[in-house]
Structure 1
Amino acid sequence: MATIDRKATTLALAHALSAAERGLAVIPLSRTKLPTLRSPHRDDPDPTAPTCHGECGRFGHGVYDASTDPRRIRELFAAAPWATGYGIACGLRPHHLIGVDLDTKSGTDSSAALRELALRHLFTIPETVVVLTPSGGRHLWLSGPPDVVVPNSAGRLAPGIDIRGAGGYLVGPGSRTERGVYGTAPGTAQLTPAPCPPALLRLLLPPPRVAGRPALPPSADRHGQGLVQFVLAAHEGQRNTRLFWAACRAYENGIGPELAPALVDAAVRTGLTEREARSTVASAARMTA
């Protein structure tokens, strides 16, 4: 059982309720930045059963538990008294939040990479909410169109730039983690997420399928093997993200159905359950449809 820091939990709940007042759906997080409540289906005997996203009425479905209802939020935190932070679900009404995560751990200057993209594609990042991470990174909050689904990605836009979209979440300001406390940059706390520039939004979406394109391009075998190896190289904390990224690329290139079993097998070998792996691949298929 995790050590309970009641002061940190109380502060996290207060920050989460404040975020909910602004229309942001939240869930409790642990010091490791992961959802605090374990899946109620983790011991289900049938790994091929349809994935539950909260239809069962119980807690423990990660970002699908996210809510703006104060009563439900208090119930979530009451069920997880060891929570020290909260996550903000992306892609939901009214903001349809998109998070641009500028990381510092990759050894690259992600802020410079974003500026280079902006110059190359002729867009500017508007004044918006900026959250500072304990490791020196930044989260930029942007608002997407209601009819567009932005997928999660890691390093696809540029090295060190991760995107949090539908099905993802951002660590909320005021959260306490193992590395420190998240906080808003001066002068941005009261801002609302600014609309994502159209040119940037186009970069965040999967490339459109070309009519008449063959199901298997000539490089499918080599490309598919590379995606499988990418999943096999995942360390703990990267497994689901790498699998989702690889599955998105496979479906974008028309080899998703053929490569899906190999990707699931690779993910299981890294430590994911077969059910988790199949669910992630299915999410990638829906996102890139």
Structure 2
Amino acid sequence: MATTDRHPRQATTLALAHALSAAERGLAVIPLSRTKLPAVRSPHRDDPSGTPCHGECGGFGHGVHDATTDPARIRELFAAAPWATGYGIACGLPPHYLIGVDLDTKSGTDSSAALRELALRHLFTIPATVVVLTPSGGRHLWLTGPRDVVVPNSAGRLAPGIDIRGAGGYLVGPGSRTDHGVYTTAPGTAHLPPAPCPPALLRLLLPPPRTSPRSSGAGDHGQGLVQFVLAAHEGQRNTRLFWAACRAYENGIGPALVAPLVEAARATGLTEREARATIASAARMTGHRP
């Protein structure tokens, strides 16, 4: 049922207080409106050129790109949006590299059961972590990822009703008030830190490779995995390298493929140190010694 506030200023003050508290935990935040959208309007909304700006102009109104942990800047953001009644928490940023697992109820499916089935099939367990209850009866599970892995946003890719909030996405923070009610922390989880994402689940969250019929992966000594890394564009280099290294170790060719993968990663613009760190992370994630 929709809610109404007799004191909108009080709602904004409470949202700001919750946002500042989240920032103290290292979570970058932005103000949200009752519709769960960023509350500060884009300064480029009337720009006919449509040139994308992620905050380079220095102003507010760039959505999740405005997210910050700086208390003074957070207050400025809320001052620019006195109608804000909630706050968003940016995912994929240091120090937590937050990943949000959104278990929705509006799809008419049992998303919690779907997650349990995935866990049984792929042999992982969701650890004790922060759980946020949504007004519609859904749940947000907070997990953390490795710093050298970019988890993309997705909707229903894992299973119907399961959405993932990764890099470039945000979660509605507990204490936020929307048109449908208030987001709250599940009892017994508010004091917990976000738990590391289980490696088997993390592999499911990464995008599948786009390989050609001639590049089949382990069958041709990993040439397909190397080509997969070479095809990476800026913004997906670490993700592709991590995915390829995981597949290599899972297929028993990880050690032999380290050097070719490093060279491929260097060709895309990563440094050798960055590449080796990502491959070592993949080795650990798949239970191997880097």
Displacement, 1:43? 1.0
Contact 2:129 2:189 in 1 (8 A): yes
CA distance in 2 between counterparts of 1:145 and 1:286 reads: 11
* Superposed counterparts of 1:150-161, under 5 Å: 150-161=151-162
Identity, in percent, stands at: 83
Q: Note the C-alpha offset of 1:150.
A: 0.4
Verify: 1:137 aligned to 2:109, yes or no: no
Gaps of 5+ in 2: 1-5, 216-227, 229-233, 242-290
CA contact (8 A) 2:132 2:140 kept: yes
The structure 1 segments of at least 4 consecutive aligned residues displaced by more than 4 Å after TM superposition are 211-214, 282-289
Q: Quick one: distance in 2 between partners of 1:284 and 1:8?
A: 39
* 1:73–1:199 Cα change, 3 Å: same
Q: Is 1:197 aligned to residue 195 of structure 2?
A: no
Shift of 1:208: 2.4
The residue type paired with residue 104 of structure 1 is: T
Larger Rg: 2
1:46 to partner: Cα distance: 1.2
Contact 1:31 1:176 (C-alpha < 8 Å) held by counterparts = yes
Q: What is the CA-CA distance between 1:107 and the residue it aligns to? A: 0.2
CA distance in structure 2 between the partners assigned to 1:161 and 1:44 by the alignment: 36
Instruction: Give the residue type in structure 1 aligned to 2:158.
Output: L
**Map 1:172-183 → 2, pairs under 5 A:** 172-183=173-184
1:167 is matched with 168
| Structure 1 residue 44 corresponds to structure 2 residue 47 | yes
String of CA shifts for 1:199-250, please: whole Å, max 9, x gaps: 0000000012336658xxxxxxxxxxxxxxxxxxxxxxxxxxxxxxxxxxxx
Structure 1, unaligned runs of 5 or more: 215-251, 253-281
Per the alignment, residue 273 of structure 1 pairs with none
Within 2, Cα distance between the matches of 1:9 and 1:286?
39
Distance 2:117 2:38 in 1: 34
Aligned mates of 1:17, 1:44 — CA distance in 2: 32
Residue in structure 1 matching 2:21, options 14, 18, 22:
18
Q: 3-state SS of the aligned residue for 1:158?
A: coil
Spell out the pairing of 1:6-85 with structure 2 (5 A cutoff): 6-47=9-50, 49=51, 51-85=52-86
Deviations 1:169-211 (A, max 9, x none): 0000000000000000001001111000000000000012336
- Count how many residue pairs are aligned between Structure 1 and Structure 2: 220
Match of 2:266 in 1: none
Determine the C-alpha separation between the residues in 2 that align with 1:12 and 1:186: 20
Does residue 98 in structure 1 map to residue 99 in structure 2? yes
Counterpart CA distance in 2 for 1:86 and 1:138 is: 17
Given that 2:33 and 2:84 are in contact with CA atoms closer than 8 Å, whether structure 1 keeps it comes out as yes
Q: Is the 8 A contact 2:34 2:84 kept in 1?
A: yes
Quote the Cα distance in structure 2 between the aligned partners of 1:111 and 1:152: 19
- 1:283 Cα deviation after fit: 8.2
- SS of 2:157's partner is strand
What's the TM-score, normalizing by structure 2?
Answer: 0.72
Give 1:284 shift: 9.3
How much has 1:99 moved relative to structure 2?
0.2
Report the alpha carbon displacement of residue 117 of structure 1 after superposing the two structures with TM. 0.2
Q: 2 CA distance for matches of 1:158 and 1:173?
A: 25
Separation of aligned partners in 2, 1:159 and 1:5: 36
